Amino acid sequence: MSIIIAGGGIVGITLALAIAHETQGRQLVNLIEELDPNTRFSSNDPGRSIALSTATCKKLSDLKIWSSLEPIATKITNIHISDRGLPGSIFLSATDYNVSSLGQVVELKSALKILFIRLKETPGVSLYCPNKIAHVERTKNFVRVILDNHRTLYGALLVAADGTSSNIAKICGIKQYYIQYPQKAIVATISTQLKHKGWAFERFTTDGPLAMLPIKNGRSSLVWCQSISKAEAMYHLSDKEFLIQLQKIFGWRLGYLENTGKRKIYPLKLQIVDKNISHRLILIGNAAQTLHPVAGQGFNLGIRDVTSLIDTLKIAWKNEKDKGDSRSLQYYQKLRERDVQTTITITDGLINIFSNQKAVLVIGRTVGMAVIDHIPQLRNIIAQWTLGWLKS
């Protein structure tokens, strides 16, 4: 019986490709995606970029997916972390850890376009697009979904990979909880006087974190989190004035900020579900947990969802067991519980620590960053978390 995946975003497509790879196309996969790729990829709106840890790249390589993404990826060779207006900072370099990079950055739209083309050529995968799931029925032995075109599909397991505010979660009665951060993020592509040479920057400010990630052609991908009112005001500035304000906050590490692509603005929230499994249902990626982009961990966490689900399915395939039975689902939940909770706690904690302007915390941050930068053992912990080597 098939595995039904709701959502053809980066996590859903990765899961479909991973299943096809592990079973050589013998496991039937039905993937349903609401957005037509011709509409999805033709827009001139700026796409987000995602940072992949070295551990994530290794997992994707094991699944024979990384070879498709590597040509569009940019290595992170150095990371500079600072707190604006304060002297403390942390510097990480790939050479200190005998690796070629501390991670990779890919532009999400480019990655999706490449993987979507590959998906359509993959044996064992049936793509329903543009389609939406209108109804879900979960019985003792199977799950039945009805699409918006009245097509009916049957499967042993339904995987919700349909992102934040998951439609499948709503249909199946999974409770979703969220904390709306008092911030919005502005995303844009920035051209700079100096080439980035693989440098990534994370700068904490009184309004929120600012990240500049290296991407192709010497450009940098900006994610600038600010208070809602300031973000909206900044979003509506002229390009010239926007770059002037960005230069004031970011500084001159990449020289003169020469140009900005079209900007896009996003609300920020932490969203979780009361449970990531239910009868013949598993939620993965942003459908299960949506994080603040401060540490760039959302996609990496989603890929760990995928690999844990593959590990769970391998046991079912090997023992010729029901892929959607309660034992398989509980095994998956046990694999994910600690990692998800730890990553959420760290990410949310960073926001609370670096957005708080109480004197004692400001002093603590300054001293802490200086201490971390001068004590290799502490700096190594941050590096290992960035690389994806730190076990949760």
**pLDDT tens digits, one per residue of 164-174:** 989 999 999 99
Residue 80 forms part of a structural domain: yes
In this structure, are 81 and 153 located in the same domain?
no
Reported as a single tens digit per residue, the pLDDT across 214-237 is: 999 999 999 999 999 999 999 999
Is residue 183 within 8 Å of 231, Cβ to Cβ? Answer: yes
In this structure, are 293 and 314 located in the same domain?
yes
Return the percentage of the chain with pLDDT > 90, whole number.
69
Tell me which residue of 5, 102, 1, 67 sits closest to 305, measured CA to CA. Answer: 5
Query: Number of structural domains, the chain?
Result: 2
Reported as a single tens digit per residue, the pLDDT across 317-329 is: 999 899 999 999 9
241: exposed, middle or buried (C-beta count within 10 Å: 0-12, 13-18, 19+)? Answer: exposed
In this structure, are 84 and 113 located in the same domain?
no
The predicted pLDDT at position 297 comes to 83
Which of 219 and 292 is assigned the larger pLDDT? 219
In this structure, are 22 and 122 located in the same domain?
yes
In this structure, are 345 and 218 located in the same domain?
no
In this structure, are 216 and 202 located in the same domain?
yes
268: enclosing H helix or E strand: strand 264-273
Q: How far is CA 282 from the centre of its chain?
A: 18
- Residue 391 pLDDT grade (very low, low, confident, very high; cuts 50, 70, 90): low
Q: Residue 86 sits in which domain range?
A: 72-106+180-268+356-387
pLDDT above 50 (res 358):
no
Residue 60 forms part of a structural domain: no
pLDDT above 80 (res 349):
no
pLDDT above 90 (res 208):
no
pTM: 0.90
The predicted pLDDT at position 81 comes to 86
Cα dihedral angle (104, 198, 184, 186), rounded to 10 degrees?
A: -110
Average pLDDT over residues 152-173: 96
pLDDT above 90 (res 98):
no
User: CA 98 to CA 228: how far, in whole Å?
Assistant: 41
- Residue 177 pLDDT grade (very low, low, confident, very high; cuts 50, 70, 90): very high
CATH of the domain at 19: 3.50.50.60
In this structure, are 189 and 252 located in the same domain?
yes
CATH of the domain at 87: 3.30.9.10
How many CB atoms are closer than 10 A to CB 289? 25
Average pLDDT over residues 86-100: 80
Reported as a single tens digit per residue, the pLDDT across 124-149 is: 999 999 999 999 999 999 999 999 99
In this structure, are 304 and 262 located in the same domain?
no
User: CA 296 to CA 293: how far, in whole Å?
Assistant: 5
